[in-house]
């Protein structure tokens, strides 16, 4: 078999690529099954500008480096390409590269759409053919996925959400996961699922955050088409899918992107900019136009070929700052002497403009822990252009507060009120993610103080607080039924805990909270603006009681939320009203079905002209211990 001269690249493609503006590179690079001169085969294209030679080796040529040498384009693009007849779908291959320094290198294909099952490291020739049946979902997605719609995200790791009960070491396939995940999400009332990285990665304990195959669905769970099936089944049931995406760093595995053509091609050559000391991984060179094209093409690929509804972009702060996790004297600076990575800033702006400009009804979400301004401001207004940003400050302050023994909470009252002072500076998502239940941080239930009943009561009121605050929501798998162990990626969640009333009660609580959140416009119509929130009292530190109003577009949708964060039952507590009306309790975390003590307010609460909290009218209410109650106008 010979390599025939052929190209999928036009001069315009090359111009876009080298200027950092080609965002569909997956249609050109990689392995493509085509017919040429009447012969079936595969066209290969790879970027290796500093290589001396590039050949394709695989099971079809006995891994012979001399058999199929690719042709280098005569322009300055650095692309090697060619057509090999009779190479069929399922063929296993790598690129054999003679590096800039004469070194012999074997690399997987950066644009491969399938890889061998780890620990094998070769790429696989594959197609992306699939007949999608989610047109109805895509039509309504812009409304369902809008910023004024409810967003309750269930974050999960496919390898450990559930495993094969008959063989706990075996991870489930995408199709097996679909059979149990879709009905579970429907039953629990989450609106979105977020899949921790499902791009191919070699080291299982990295959870998917050390990617080698950016364009390939992990073969641990099946084929690309089987992942498409999982996403389609979720869409058919009106469940949106967010994918974790990692453009911040990649591992140094020999078959991956690192040192690709014998030079620092994808990573920055200056290791102050190109190496991440915490993760022992390599940082993309965002100053390089071709690297930005690669990454943005990858983002659009998952939206295009897999119909993803959003991307949660990992570790944005590590991209934005050269001194992230480095001592100042060990950090690089930009051309103006500052710590901002200007190439990364440009990349993120281009990314968000490309995503929102090409796909209707999608969202990008930044996992960003710094105070960088304007993360969710539009690019045209000087921002980075994300749809949402994780509210890490809220998460840290909230968990610090709840870890306190209730007797001491009055001394930390401000930890729950402070976040509102900046809650509307960005479009925030409130997260309790996988990061909070690993590495000795303990499970959510064991962060809570007190005896068993108090731990569960604390966690119920914590979730109610989370879902009645401004912002969208994210909860990691297992948190919804109070998983007792820290998350273990090697094993299934402890589903057997649902045999026990406290855990079953917690699951019922989260189900009810999701129903409340998605059915009450006041909790989502103004998620990101001041007009949706108002304190009734933020000052009752002695009783550790917080009372606030959530407002929708219509006055009749107004809710009053009351939190009691001590185990003391407060009877006949006076609450100032936003306006004169009858009020009815519509939700109470102390209900017996939730494993609470059952101290409910079952009667309609009548307004009285007694001044309280600076308001003319008030009601008397019984506030259960360690509980949240929600009131709405009633008859």
- Distance CA(91)–CA(53), nearest Å, equals 22
- Distance CA(412)–CA(139), nearest Å, equals 47
Helices 174-188/501-519 angle, 10° precision: 70
Selecting among 267, 309, 367, 480, the annotated active-site residue is 367
What own/partner pairs with CB < 8 Å and gap ≥ 24 does 410-416 have?
410/541, 410/542, 410/543, 410/544, 411/541, 413/539, 413/541, 413/544, 416/465, 416/546, 416/565
Q: Which of 513, 523, 500, 626 is nearest to 566 (CA)?
A: 626
Token pair 């199709």 in the structure block, residue: 175
Q: Which of 353, 217, 210 is nearest to 278 (CA)?
A: 210
Q: Which of 290, 201, 309 is nearest to 249 (CA)?
A: 201
How many Cβ atoms are within 10 Å of 65's Cβ, its own excluded? 16
Q: Which of 599, 587, 604, 603 is nearest to 626 (CA)?
A: 599
> The tokens of 209 are what?
């955050």
How many alpha carbons fall within 13 Å on the CB side of residue 284?
31
Q: Judge whether 341 and 321 are in contact, CB under 8 Å.
A: yes
- Distance CA(222)–CA(367), nearest Å, equals 28
Selecting among 155, 232, 314, 520, the annotated active-site residue is 314
Q: Which of 165, 227, 176 is nearest to 199 (CA)?
A: 227
Q: Which of 123, 39, 45 is nearest to 82 (CA)?
A: 45
> The tokens of 265 are what?
């091609």
Q: Judge whether 195 and 244 are in contact, CB under 8 Å.
A: yes
Whether 314 is catalytic is yes
Q: Which of 155, 131, 69 is nearest to 444 (CA)?
A: 155
Whether 367 is catalytic is yes
Q: Judge whether 362 and 310 are in contact, CB under 8 Å.
A: yes
Residues designated as active site: 314, 367
């Amino acid at each position: 078999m010979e390599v025939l001269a052929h190209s999928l690249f036009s001069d315009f493609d090359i111009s876009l690529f080298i200027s950092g503006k080609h965002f569909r590179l997956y249609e050109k690079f990689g392995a493509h099954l085509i017919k040429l001169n009447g012969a079936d085969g595969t066209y290969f294209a790879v970027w290796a500008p500093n290589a001396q030679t590039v050949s394709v080796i695989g099971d079809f040529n006995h891994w012979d480096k001399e058999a199929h040498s690719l042709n280098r384009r005569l322009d300055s693009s650095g692309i090697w390409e060619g057509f090999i007849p009779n190479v069929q779908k399922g063929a296993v291959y790598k690129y054999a590269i003679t590096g800039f320094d004469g070194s012999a290198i074997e690399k997987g294909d950066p644009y491969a759409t399938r890889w061998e099952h780890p620990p094998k490291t070769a790429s696989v020739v594959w197609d992306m053919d699939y007949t999608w049946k989610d047109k109805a979902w895509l039509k309504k997605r812009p409304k369902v996925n809008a910023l004024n719609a409810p967003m309750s995200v269930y974050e999960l790791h496919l390898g450990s959400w559930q495993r094969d009960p008959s063989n706990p070491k075996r991870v489930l396939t995408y199709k097996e996961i679909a059979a149990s995940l879709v009905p579970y999400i429907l039953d629990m009332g989450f609106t979105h699922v977020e899949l921790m990285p499902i791009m191919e990665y070699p080291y299982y304990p990295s959870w998917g955050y050390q990617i080698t195959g950016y364009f390939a669905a992990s073969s641990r769970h099946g084929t690309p088409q089987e992942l498409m099936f999982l996403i389609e089944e979720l869409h058919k049931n009106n469940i949106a899918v967010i994918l974790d995406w990692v453009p911040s760093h990649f591992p140094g595995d020999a078959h991956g992107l690192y040192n690709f053509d014998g030079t620092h091609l994808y990573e920055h050559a200056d290791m102050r900019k190109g190496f991440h000391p915490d993760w022992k991984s390599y940082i993309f060179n965002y100053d390089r136009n071709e690297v930005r094209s690669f990454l943005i093409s990858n983002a659009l690929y998952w939206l295009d070929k897999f119909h993803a509804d959003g991307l949660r972009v990992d570790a944005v702060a590590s991209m934005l700052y050269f001194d992230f996790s480095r001592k100042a004297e060990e950090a690089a600076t930009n051309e103006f002497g500052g710590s901002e990575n200007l190439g990364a800033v440009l990349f993120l702006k281009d990314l968000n403009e490309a995503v929102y400009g090409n796909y209707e009804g999608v969202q990008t979400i930044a996992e960003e822990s710094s105070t960088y301004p304007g993360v969710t401001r539009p690019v045209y207004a000087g921002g980075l252009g994300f749809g949402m940003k994780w509210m890490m400050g809220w998460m840290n302050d909230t968990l610090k507060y709840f870890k306190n023994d209730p007797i001491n909470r009055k001394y930390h009252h401000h930890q729950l009120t402070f976040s509102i002072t900046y809650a509307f500076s960005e479009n925030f998502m409130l997260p309790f993610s996988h990061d909070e239940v690993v590495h000795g941080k303990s499970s959510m239930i064991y962060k809570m103080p007190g005896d068993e009943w108090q731990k569960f009561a604390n966690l119920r009121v914590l979730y109610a607080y989370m879902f009645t605050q401004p912002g969208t929501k994210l909860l990691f798998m297992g948190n919804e039924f109070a998983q007792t162990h820290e998350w273990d990626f090697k094993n299934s969640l402890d589903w057997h805990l649902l045999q026990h009333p406290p855990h079953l009660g917690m699951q019922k609580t989260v189900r009810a909270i999701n129903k409340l959140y998605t059915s009450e416009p006041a909790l989502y119509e103004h998620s990101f603006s001041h007009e949706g929130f108002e304190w009734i009292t933020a000052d009752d530190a002695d009783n550790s009681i917080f009372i606030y109003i959530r407002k929708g577009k219509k006055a009749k949708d107004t809710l009053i939320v009351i939190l009691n964060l001590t185990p003391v039952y407060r009877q006949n507590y006076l609450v100032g009203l936003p306006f004169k009306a009858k009020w009815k309790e519509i939700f109470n975390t102390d209900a017996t079905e939730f494993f609470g003590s059952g101290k409910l307010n079952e009667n309609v609460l009548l307004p009285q002209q007694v001044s309280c909290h600076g308001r003319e009218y008030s009601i008397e209410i019984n506030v259960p211990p360690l509980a949240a109650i929600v009131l709405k106008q009633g008859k």
